[in-house]
Structure 1
Amino acid sequence: MLLDITRQKQVEDALRRSEERYRTLIELMDQGFCVIEMLYDEQGRPVDFRYLEGNPAFVKQSGLDNAIGKTIRSFVPDHDQHWFDLYDQVVKTGEPVRYENEAVAMERWFEVFAARLGGPGSRLLTVLFSDISERKRSEQQLRQLADNLSEMDRRKTEFLATLAHELRNPLAPIRNGLQIMRLAADKPATVARVRDVMERQVNQMVHLVNDLLDVARITRGQIELKLERADLKTIIASAVETSMPLIEASHHQLQVTLDEQPLPLEADPTRLAQVLGNLLNNAAKYTPAGGHIALRAIRDGNEALIEVQDSGVGIPAESLATVFDMFTQVGQNMGRAQGGLGIGLSLVRRLAELHGGSATAASPGAGLGSTFTVRLPLLEAEAEAPAAPALPASAASGPQFRVLVVDDNVDAAETLAAVLDMMGHATHVAHDGAQALEMAPQFLPDVIFLDIGLPGMNGYEVARALRRIPAGASVVLVALTGWGAENDRSQSSAAGFDHHLTKPANLLAIGELLATLSTPKTPTDHD
């Protein structure tokens, strides 16, 4: 008997080739593939599953090695129940499901496609899955970044509004004071009282601008400490003296307690006084009138511990972690504080860290006051050096110079020249680089105060041009600029400047600088 089985062989061959194609496809794909068998307890609840087959990508996507023939519970005893419930649903309904969720115990996220293998009653599933943990982490980071950007934008908007408010506050009494001085020129007592008001307001504006510049310098890593051996008690005395007007204006009681032992530091006295002054000012601003402020400085092992405690508005527990962040005070307690941009505490922490120390805050809660603590490393105590002899009065007065002031801000140039005139120096004023270069050969100055931000030729270009002409070859060039970081000073030095002053230049600093210069050229020398 002969049977023609050609068709049967063709079908078997086609089926074999189809199986090979699909097996090759499954083995080559990047997604994990496995066949699992669902396992149930005596009550018929899904509690585990066993791996029956898997492709090469299974290990990479699941993190499970040698899993075939073993259950998931043998690898991950605390595997999340929602995975068993999902697979049980597919087994019972026969409806495939696409699922994305976290396997907490495996510390991974998976995207899964599961389908029943076989008809009703089968407990076998085919599962195609991918590890999407990295994608989920990236999404979380992006969400966090978006939230941070939104918060930063909110703070920036509030900060700009507060900055405008804080700058307008002193402008009003300054403008009113000018009008009063004009109308009451023949009343010296009134003029003196108004002048004091204007001076306080100008100092407030200078303080605001200096804080802003300090934040910018620290953020860019351009602030440089002028470290020296210093006594913490002396620095505290300076900070207290600076803050007393604000403390007294609010009728606060200030108690200062200092350790009897020496508290020597390697520190920048100016910056450290700024830290303590900001803490005292912060306590004064956020404490209702007639409150109590306590400043304590003691030795704690190898560290100096400084505490500023107040009876003020306090800090809610949820805000303690962010109280030193930039602008956190903006928009908060606006009716209970006496102004401020919310950057003082950020400067406290950053300057303390630059000194190798730390700054922390504590509070029992809103309305219960707060305590700010600064820790700084101490130096070993040493015998005090004898005090330097005082300079004679004749040396302190200093010589008189011919001074050329170059600044495009007319008021700034004229007022600086007026002060120099009152100090006994002869002055001329120029308002741009070309005018300065034209005036120098005629006036033959000994010293030139030169603004960097000039229109047309900037101060660096003017300095280089001055050094190329006889009248400017040996003149003392002093840079005036709003930037005082080390690289700014290096740039001015490279342009030919001898000294670098940060705006607004302190008149005492200008006087001290001129007093240190050599004797000016005589009229014969000028001729």
Structure 2
Amino acid sequence: MRVVTKRRCGWTTWRVLLKQVVPSKFRIIEGRNLQAKIKIEAKMESPDGSRPKNLRELGLDGLPNLAAVDWVGSTREALRSALDSDLPTSVMVGPDLRMFYNDAYAEILGPRHPDAYGSPFWDVLPESLPAVGVGLAEALDGRAVLMEDKGVLMEFEGRSEVRFFMSSLSPLRNDDGTVAGVLSLALETTRRVANQRERDENASRLHRLVDQAPGFIAFMRGPDHVYELVNASIVTLMGERPYVGLPVREAVPELAGQGFYELLDQVYATGTPFVGLGIPAMLRRSPAAPPEQRYMNFIYQPIFEDGVVAGIFVEGSDVTEQHLAQVEADRLNAELAERVAELREADRRKDEFLAMLAHELRNPLAPISAAADILARSPRDLARIGTASAVIARQVKHIVRLVDELLDVSRVTRGLAAVNLKPTDLRAPIMDAVEQIRPLVERLGHALEIRLPDTEAMVSGDSARLTQIAANLLDNAARYTAPGGRLQVSLEGSETTFSLRVEDNGQGIEPHQRARIFDLFEQGPRPSARTQGGLGVGLSLVRSLVAMHGGAIRAEGVESGPGSAFIVTLPRHSESPGEAGSSRTEEGAGPLKVMVVDDNVDAAEMLGMLLGAAGHRVVVEIDPGAAIERAKNEPQDVYLLDLGLPGMDGVELSARLRQLDGGAKRAFIAVTGYGHAHDRKRTAEAGFGHHLVKPVDTEQLLAILADLARLRQS
């Protein structure tokens, strides 16, 4: 316990102390400076000598040290009211601000009571002056002051502790209005402050934990969804901007029209949570940034208070990268499924083709076998021998036609067939084809209509191959039209092209089959009246031959009813020096010197063999360094480079090869497994003329080489 000293404590002392603590608030209070030496009485007794239980029981007249001050104005009545109050109240009177208090205030003072009674404030609570000095000066200046949760370091029994109080300081006035003292009401708030600090610390700890959460978290209060809390992930997702204290419509205006406001309204109104997976949202990372699409998994969880929705808790994750990866995976899976379906379809067509081939070969073998048996049984019957020989000849001719058709389509699809391009009047090959097919047409009783222009229809073409194209189309139309049908052949011209149209009124082709009808071994449904066999290679052969002439072919329906129409479009002939009689093959106008560089030995050798079979002079290298050394001594016309080479990628290798003598004049083709847009851009910027993705379309590659060969010749 602090010992209260017996000493003079006049206004001068208070003036110095208050000036040191609150110089800006200090005002001298005019009053009487008591010079009397006051002795603090620690003994409290009733006039009758009994020991009272408390100050209230002692009564106003029995309080000690009342004579130490001059009780003027409202001071005495204030003390009377304080004694009757249950709230901690003290009255500070006189220049020394001597303290007179009630029982509740005595509990605050603890062991300092009763010695503190009637003692100057500075002697009783000197440690509180830093906390209450400013307020005390205000009260002495005539203004009431309310101080909340002021901490005071107080000493009790040799230990110090900080206690918190909510205090009111009200001036007590003389009859003339001057300040005669201060009425102090002090409520201890130490426990409430401790509880509040604990709550604040818990809230701060929670906020730190929320801020470190990997997903975004927010709390919105009220029907306007005002942000009360957001964590760092919200800022990462939607950028630095004001959130707390703003409604969501004001804080994130770009969400308008995307359904999020309406979802929040719905959750608030119904109290039903909402869970969203992979929900897209257009968000701005900054006010000036363009909207960016992000994908989110999130939950809107209603928060209830007293049974009603008070706010919404938001928690979720930015799953943009996962969503895009899943979209890409789905795309690749769809492509894979499509490719598998194509392979299964190709396998199905292969099986059908083998079955058809067996059927088509057995058909002529049966009469050949019977004719051979007749020859064996009737060696001297010249009539029978003649008939059997004619049967054998016809059926062998049919077999030869089948074999020739297979060999022809094999050569064309592998780029080994040649076309002798020269100015040709397209009418002549068409009429040759008509004459070839006429016996079949007449046997089936078809009506054939021919519409050809009166003037020349000049194209750059191979007359024999053009005849083959028209004959295959006419043969196909005749075989897939019931006996007694109608066939039409017409030729029309435009400024740049000629179009050959072969039309029938047969069974027709379903729209979904038209894109596949030109695939190898593809056949339409067989009519019951069909009298001619076939292997399903004719239309595929026609498409390849048309492409070799720089043209295109398509199939379509007939407006007038059932049936099909095939339209072949060929470019008009334009004369150029040295063009007449030129020869064009799929492998080019002449052989090229080609180097294939690929660290996959099998892939490199197979590609080399393919190009060699097409007539080109091919060298194969596995190592980029070896390719450079060989190119120094054997410059090539074309370099086919894999991009993913060991030690040196294809782009760098192309730059090194280009530095060699004449390298800039060579052609570079990327042959790689990388097919994204940025890969194509990279090779184009590096000077590659073409970018082919593995597995390479051989027809496309051979066509590119053919164009390069013609350019080299010209």
Question: TM range, normalised to the smaller chain?
Answer: 0.5 to 0.7
Q: C-alpha displacement at 1:57, in angstroms? A: 5.3
Q: C-alpha displacement at 1:277, in angstroms? A: 1.4
Which of 297, 301, 312 aligns to 1:116? It is: 301
Is the Cα–Cα contact under 8 Å of residues 99 and 113 in structure 1 kept in the other structure? yes
Is the Cα–Cα contact under 8 Å of residues 91 and 125 in structure 1 kept in the other structure? no
Is the Cα–Cα contact under 8 Å of residues 362 and 372 in structure 1 kept in the other structure? yes
SS of the residue aligned with 2:314? strand
Match in the other structure for 2:344 = 153
Q: TM-score normalized by structure 2? A: 0.44
Is the Cα–Cα contact under 8 Å of residues 554 and 566 in structure 2 kept in the other structure? yes
- Counterpart residue type for residue 364 of structure 1: V
Find out whether 1:97 has 2:275 as its counterpart.
Answer: yes
Is the Cα–Cα contact under 8 Å of residues 254 and 292 in structure 1 kept in the other structure? yes
Q: C-alpha displacement at 1:312, in angstroms? A: 1.2
Is the Cα–Cα contact under 8 Å of residues 312 and 367 in structure 1 kept in the other structure? no
Distance verdict in 2 for CA 1:183–1:490, change over 3 Å: farther
Q: C-alpha displacement at 1:103, in angstroms? A: 7.9
- Counterpart residue type for residue 99 of structure 1: L
Partner Cα distance (1:36, 1:356) in 2: 68
- For structure 1, the residue ranges without an aligned partner over 5 or more in a row are 61-66, 383-483, 495-527
Q: Normalized per residue, which structure has more helix? A: 1
Match in the other structure for 2:546 = 352
- Counterpart residue type for residue 266 of structure 1: S
SS of the residue aligned with 2:420? coil
SS of the residue aligned with 2:558? coil
Q: C-alpha displacement at 1:339, in angstroms? A: 3.1
Q: How many residues align?
A: 370
Is the Cα–Cα contact under 8 Å of residues 92 and 121 in structure 1 kept in the other structure? no
Summarize the alignment of residues 123-272 of structure 1 with structure 2, pairs less than 5 Å apart. Answer: 123-131=312-320, 132-154=323-345, 155-156=348-349, 157-217=351-411, 219-221=413-415, 223-272=417-466
Find out whether 1:369 has 2:563 as its counterpart.
Answer: yes
Is the Cα–Cα contact under 8 Å of residues 413 and 544 in structure 2 kept in the other structure? no
Question: Deviations for 1:74-115, whole angstroms, at most 9, x for unmatched residues?
Answer: 4xx4x4x699559945984554635346789x9979462324
Distance verdict in 2 for CA 1:56–1:268, change over 3 Å: farther
Partner Cα distance (1:102, 1:334) in 2: 53
- Counterpart residue type for residue 348 of structure 1: V
Is the Cα–Cα contact under 8 Å of residues 300 and 312 in structure 2 kept in the other structure? no
Partner Cα distance (1:214, 1:295) in 2: 24
Partner Cα distance (1:137, 1:184) in 2: 74
Match in the other structure for 1:488 = 613
Is the Cα–Cα contact under 8 Å of residues 313 and 366 in structure 1 kept in the other structure? no
Match in the other structure for 2:78 = none
Distance verdict in 2 for CA 1:168–1:320, change over 3 Å: same
Higher RCO structure (Cα 8 Å, ≥6 apart): 1
Partner Cα distance (2:572, 2:204) in 1: 83
Is the Cα–Cα contact under 8 Å of residues 416 and 614 in structure 2 kept in the other structure? no
Partner Cα distance (2:292, 2:382) in 1: 79
SS of the residue aligned with 1:225? strand
Match in the other structure for 1:23 = 211
Is the Cα–Cα contact under 8 Å of residues 301 and 312 in structure 2 kept in the other structure? yes
Match in the other structure for 1:302 = 496
Mark the structure with the bigger radius of gyration: 2
Identity of aligned residues (%): 29
- Counterpart residue type for residue 127 of structure 1: G
SS of the residue aligned with 2:508? coil
Is the Cα–Cα contact under 8 Å of residues 325 and 346 in structure 1 kept in the other structure? yes
Is the Cα–Cα contact under 8 Å of residues 315 and 366 in structure 1 kept in the other structure? no
Q: C-alpha displacement at 1:361, in angstroms? A: 2.0
Q: C-alpha displacement at 1:228, in angstroms? A: 2.9
Match in the other structure for 1:379 = 573
Which of 50, 66, 70 aligns to 2:252? It is: 70
Q: C-alpha displacement at 1:233, in angstroms? A: 2.3
- Counterpart residue type for residue 497 of structure 2: E
- For structure 2, the residue ranges without an aligned partner over 5 or more in a row are 1-153, 155-161, 164-189, 240-248, 283-290, 577-608, 620-714
Question: Deviations for 1:360-384, whole angstroms, at most 9, x for unmatched residues?
Answer: 22223796222211110121489xx
Partner Cα distance (1:234, 1:36) in 2: 84
Cα RMSD of the aligned pairs, angstroms, is 4.6
Q: TM-score normalized by structure 1? A: 0.57
Is the Cα–Cα contact under 8 Å of residues 315 and 367 in structure 1 kept in the other structure? no
SS of the residue aligned with 1:229? strand
SS of the residue aligned with 2:478? helix
Partner Cα distance (1:351, 1:276) in 2: 11
Is the Cα–Cα contact under 8 Å of residues 265 and 379 in structure 1 kept in the other structure? yes
Of the structure 1 ranges 219-228 and 373-382, higher mean CA displacement relative to structure 2 is found in: 219-228
Is the Cα–Cα contact under 8 Å of residues 90 and 96 in structure 1 kept in the other structure? no
Partner Cα distance (1:265, 1:122) in 2: 79
Distance verdict in 2 for CA 1:70–1:185, change over 3 Å: farther
SS of the residue aligned with 1:201? helix
